Amino acid sequence: MIARYRAGAPPSVSVSVRDTASRASLSVFVRKRPLLDEELRRGGFDVVSTCGEEETARASLVAHEPKVTVDLSRAMENHTYKFDGVYGESATNQQVFDSAVRPMVEHLFASRGHGTCFAYGQTGSGKTMTMEGLGSGEGDNSAGIYSLVADDLFRNVRGAGGGLTVRAGFFEIYRGKCFDLLNKKRSVQVMEDEHGAQHVVGLHQSTLASAEELLLLLSTSDRTTRATAQNTHSSRSHAVLQIEVVEPASESVRCKLSLVDLAGSEWAAKAQSDDRQNRLDGAEINKSLLCLKECIRALGSQSSHVPFRGSKLTQLLKDSFVGENSRTVMIATISPCSVCCEHSLNTLRYAERVKDWQ
């Protein structure tokens, strides 16, 4: 049924992005990862079709949900979603960066703004691979968003004629508390000053001379992970890389970027974990992700109250949502495997609601 649908549908694409995405204060992109060999061995099949541009000038994808009717016959329900950009399984990290993240970096550097790029999706869907890359010698995806953003920032700093300093801090948010990943997981605090700006008090920030120095720093970090029913090496915390471009003479921040690799979302019913620590982790992760969605919805509806204090994650990202020159990019990663169809639909619904609230 999926093959027949694809035969009559627009041709699949690896990258499809709206022209206006780079000018939006909030842009939402979706990335489909390839099927894994293990998924194929277990009988899984691809249930996500990526399509080209439509009349609405939005990139789209279709999720094919396998179903069984009351008479036990097979059926399929097609769910169509439209976003600022869609990346197929053959898209590379470089392509994701060029169309989704580079415009934000260029805007922030020119306008002295704050921005956030965060990856959202179920555990094992490719968030960390998108943000960190696979490492040297791993082909087109060896460099991740962290490295590509640093390269672009240093290019802009050199183009500005020098006199600017780049510094970075790396920390995780685990169970509502912040820990410095570059300083032996020392506890740090997110606090607000008299002007309403957010600061991570106690965070160790390293001054960088090149993007290579940043990668060397990140290689020494130790993010909290745990084996779950969904993934044997699942991230249990939100990892935040904060990069600032500073004017040394005045110590004023010219631009700030927060690159966030969110912990994997999961349904409690699907986690099937008897481990109390895993259940506590999952509850805290889902609470912070729900709060993030509520904040974006409140902003989109022009509400007089935005619940940024509902979680450490949203409190930290407040500057990127409310600033005049702020930019936010969401990259939702999904698995195309039929076994993960419910999870992928959940991710797509979350991403669609975020975009609709802009």
Residue 20 has pLDDT above 70, yes or no: no
- 127 known member of a binding site: yes
Q: Would you kindly state where each structural domain of the chain is located, as residue ranges?
A: 2-355
pLDDT at residue 112, rounded to an integer: 86
For residue 230, the model assigns a pLDDT of 55
- Tell me whether residue 124 is annotated as binding: yes
CATH fold, domain 2-355, is Kinesin (3.40.850)
- Looking at residue 269, its pLDDT comes to 46
SS (H, E, C) the chain: CHHHHHHHCCCCCCEEECCCHHHCCEEEEEEECCCCHHHHHCCCCECEEEECCCCCCCEEEEEEEEEECCCCCEEEEEEEEEECEEECCCCCHHHHHHHHHHHHHHHHHHHCCEEEEEEEEECCCCHHHHHHCCCCCCHHHCCCHHHHHHHHHHHHHHHCCCCCEEEEEEEEEECCEEEECCCCCEEEEEEECCCCCEEEECCCCEEECCHHHHHHHHCCCCCCEECCCCCCCEECCEEEEEEEEEECCCCEEEEEEEEEECCCECCHHHHCCCCHHHHHHHHHHHHHHHHHHHHHHHHHCCCCCCCHHHCHHHHHCHHHHHCCCCEEEEEEEECCEHHHHHHHHHHHHHHHHHHHCC
Q: Is 123 annotated as a binding residue?
A: yes
**What is the C-alpha R_g of the chain?**
20
pTM: 0.89
Tell me if 92 is assigned to a ligand binding site.
no
Q: Which residue has the higher pLDDT, 112 or 79?
A: 79
Span 293-338, pLDDT tens digits: 888 777 766 777 888 888 899 988 888 777 778 888 999 999 999 9
- Is 125 annotated in some ligand binding site? yes
pLDDT recorded at residue 93: 93
- 122 marked among binding-site residues: yes
Q: What percent of the chain has pLDDT over 90?
A: 39
pLDDT tens figures, 201-221:
999 999 999 888 988 888 877
